[in-house]
Amino acid sequence: MRLPIALAACLIALPSAAGAQTFKSSAGDLKIETVVGGLAHPWALAFLPDGRMLVTERAGRMRIATPDGKLTAPLQGVPKVFASGQGGLHDVIADRSFAQNRTIYFCYAEPASGGARTAMARATLGEGKLDDVKVIFQQDGPLSSGNHFGCRIAQTSDNNLFLTQGDHFTQRDEAQNLGNHIGKIVRVAPDGSVPKDNPFAGRRDAKPEIWSYGHRNSQGAAIHPATGKLWEHEHGARGGDEVNIPQPGKNYGWPVISHGVNYDGTPVGSGKAEMPGMEQPVKYWVPSIAPSGMAFYDGALFPAWKGSLFVGALAGQILVRLTLDGEKVTGEERLLQGIRERIRDVRTGPDGAIYLVTDNSGGRVLKVVPAQ
């Protein structure tokens, strides 16, 4: 059983001589710049080759922000979303060949009779609009009334797409049922077809799109730049947030095992943290930080942080840096303490800065750079 890794020393916000906030870190003082503000619960950020950024707002809007702070009107052509509770327009990424095909992928809570399900679509980015919008994946299983949609996308070097999905909160036992997509990570081709080497392809008792199962509510996913493997993190209940490296066909235990407890303090499932046939996380948090968004750092602005994994935190209102030794988490540094904003997404920018999206009614896109 892995024990929680000791936290780094607290790093708090301090006023600078000019009255603005700077934040202490192991790489020196950090400065936060606002790229754009006034966003309504933004959820995700995706860089385009020219440095502009696609930004989603949970209510169903997608905009383009420029590096100098300009923000377009909402793009036309976004499908209707279920904008209730935790549902809405969620993640967006640009295709690896965007410069040639102008293709993007996005996921959202799709309205359905009696609730909503997680869906993923592809589209061509036009001038002020999305063209050729096509839904390439629809979640199968009991609907959500507004909770635990998951909905992060990651594209691998072979162009296939991973999509995370939650357990809908009230349907958590379905995370162990291979007959639906609830509480699963799925893997599909860019057109939505099933890759032939998916672990359950060809089985009658399982959905062929499933890559791994037993997940609670994963809102962070990233491809390791060196190994090409998917890493994801997911919310626990009261404690038990996890970072995993999902392997094909493996069971990650929810809701049978957990390092946390239910919100009322009762045990989760078996009451155990480990059981045979169920995978252990490479990192977990007790108490919870409520992770959302994650990115590997491969930029040049913070050379001491190259190879680190950054995780945003909603309830924790911090940015977490995890140090790695291969597939082992060796340390944790808690950054931006005192920012007092829910960090929903984390990306490494083409300029080497760390970009954040804050999930508030007046949400912002933030740029983290060295103070000097």
Would you name the residues annotated as active-site residues?
A: 148
Quick check: 219 and 194 in contact, CB under 8 A? no
Which residue in this structure is represented by tokens 């920018």?
Answer: 349
Task: Give the DSSP letter string of 130-191.
Answer: EEEEEEEEE--SSPBSSS-----EEE-TTS-EEEE---TTTTGGGGG-TTS-TTEEEEE-TT
Cα–Cα distance, 208 to 205 (Å, whole number): 9
Quick check: 24 and 14 in contact, CB under 8 A? yes
Which 8-state DSSP code applies to residue 100?
A: H
Cα–Cα distance, 266 to 131 (Å, whole number): 49
The Cα-based distances of 29 to 316, 335, 345, 372 in angstroms read: 21, 11, 22, 8
| Residues 308-324 as b or e (16 or more Cβ within 10 Å = b) | bbbbbbbebbbbbbbbb
Cα–Cα distance, 341 to 318 (Å, whole number): 8
Cα–Cα distance, 316 to 199 (Å, whole number): 35
Cα–Cα distance, 336 to 235 (Å, whole number): 21
Cα–Cα distance, 108 to 41 (Å, whole number): 14
Quick check: 337 and 30 in contact, CB under 8 A? no
Cα–Cα distance, 355 to 298 (Å, whole number): 13
Cα–Cα distance, 284 to 109 (Å, whole number): 27
Q: ∠ CA(221), CA(214), CA(347), 5° rounding?
A: 10
